[in-house]
Amino acid sequence: MQGFRINNNISSMNTYRQLNKSRGAMETSLERLSSGLRINRAADDTAGLAISQRMRSEIRGLQQASRNTSQAINLVQTAEGAMNEIHSILSRMRELAVQAGSDNIGDTDRTSINSEFSQLKNEISRIATSTEYNGEKLVNGSYNGNAVSYTASATSQSLTTSGVQEIIVSGSTSTGTYTVSDSGSSDGQLTIGNGTTTQTVIYYDAPTSGSTINVYFDDLGIQLTLNDAYDDGDLDGVTFLVEGTGDKTFQVGADNATDNTISFSINNMQASALGSGSGSQLTDADLTSVTNARSALDIVDDAINDVNTERGTLGAIQNRFNFTISNLDNMAQNIQASESTIRDADFALEISSFTRNQILVQAGTSMLAQANASAQSVLSLLQ
């Protein structure tokens, strides 16, 4: 028999318990509606939180990779812009070579033409050595993954104290230890070898006070810049170490994987490195005679081919980067859509749940008042 008891109002306690459940559910709906998230803490969905956090990390990695790739495109465009100017200069140099190769030009005029020709060669090297992106030089041959370490030599001299201002190694330079042989002869003959390949270059005159000269070993992909501290014979027995991958590497993916990187290098566009396909370098060309002018045509044509080839390579890399960005953005968008289904609140569903719980809270509050009042009927027995 149920009877009348007042110490424990079971109806009130049950109603209060149900009211608390409804209030908690309503507060959860309010939190989701105000934050826009279905998962606001791990307790809301432990597995869903872990999955969505991994997705968020992946999305941020993809977005940064996309920014990396965009910056790589800007770098390539900077280098290609410099090459475009070099290309324009070479076209003018070819025009001058054609002009100087004709006998209707006198020696005085040819001297003037050669003066402009020489200035244009210097401008090519100036552009190549001054073009940089974020502090890194791009088209002087140093933009690659190789690095030079100066080491002790057989003569206990180091490169930096022997008149070498800079060593530039191209992306095609083989890694290993290189030894310099410096005969000390007046013709300025230097030989560099790595035990496999050796090349000798004659540069004729040592640098004068306040000047530098570049000695380019095209077979090895190495350029030595000598300053006025250098004297013939200073580098004999000096060694240096070339280390690296031969390419600069760009992170174009969210993970540490080989296929999430793209690597490339940019060849040397200085006058000393152009035109070597003809057997001479652009720096060797001059227009002081008809014969030299006609030889200069071949050298300039080879230099133009060198620039065209490098610009074509950079253009292909830029197109690849553009496709990479499209793929990264597509991946980020689709993963973000998946993360949204896990973590974001469905407002239609949540507003329905909120309305239901709001009604239950109001009804529960009213019923709790009724349950508390029901025990007062016992008073009628005491009259």
Higher pLDDT: 94 or 24? It is 94
- Tell me how far apart the alpha carbons of residues 199 and 324 are, in angstroms, rounded to a whole number: 40
State the number of CA atoms in the 13 A half-sphere of 300 facing the CB. 27
* Per-residue pLDDT at 201: 86
For 201-228, the pLDDT digits (tens) are 887 677 778 788 888 888 888 888 888 8
Structure-block tokens of residue 159 = 């490169």
What type of residue is 217? F
Predicted pLDDT at 103 = 87
Instruction: Kindly provide the b/e burial profile for residues 72-108, where b requires at least 16 CB atoms within 10 angstroms of the residue's own CB.
Output: bbebbebbbebbeebbebbeebbebbebbbeeebeee
Architecture of domain 45-137+286-344: Up-down Bundle (1.20)
Condensed to tens digits (0 to 9), the pLDDT of residues 102-130 reads 888 888 899 999 999 999 999 999 999 99
Residue 299 has pLDDT above 80, yes or no: yes
- Secondary structure class of 49 (helix, strand, coil): helix
Rounded to the nearest angstrom, the gap between the alpha carbon of residue 133 and the centroid of all alpha carbons in its chain is 11
Average pLDDT, the chain: 85
**pLDDT tops 90 at residue 287:** yes
Provide the terminal-to-terminal Cα distance of the chain, rounded to the nearest Å: 23
Could you tell me the residue ranges of all domains in the chain? Answer: 10-36+345-382, 45-137+286-344
**What is residue 360's predicted lDDT score, i.e. its pLDDT?**
84
Please give the Cα distance from 325 to 318 (Å, whole number).
Answer: 11
Q: What is the pTM of this model?
A: 0.76
3 pLDDT band (50/70/90 cuts)? low
Q: Mean pLDDT across the stretch 65-69?
A: 96
Of 305, 279, 322, the C-alpha closest to 83 is 305
- Put residue 104 in one of left, alpha, beta given phi > 0 → left and psi -120 to 50 → alpha: alpha
DSSP result, 66-77 = HHHHHHHHHHHH
Helix (H, G, I), strand (E, B) or coil at 263: strand
CA torsion 14-16-21-25 (nearest 10°) is 150
pLDDT of 219 reads: 83
Residue 30 DSSP SS3? helix
pLDDT reported for residue 72:
95
Cα 275 to Cα 58: distance, rounded to the nearest angstrom: 47
| Interval 333-347: pLDDT, tens | 999 999 888 888 878
Q: Which pair of tokens denotes residue 340?
A: 């949204």
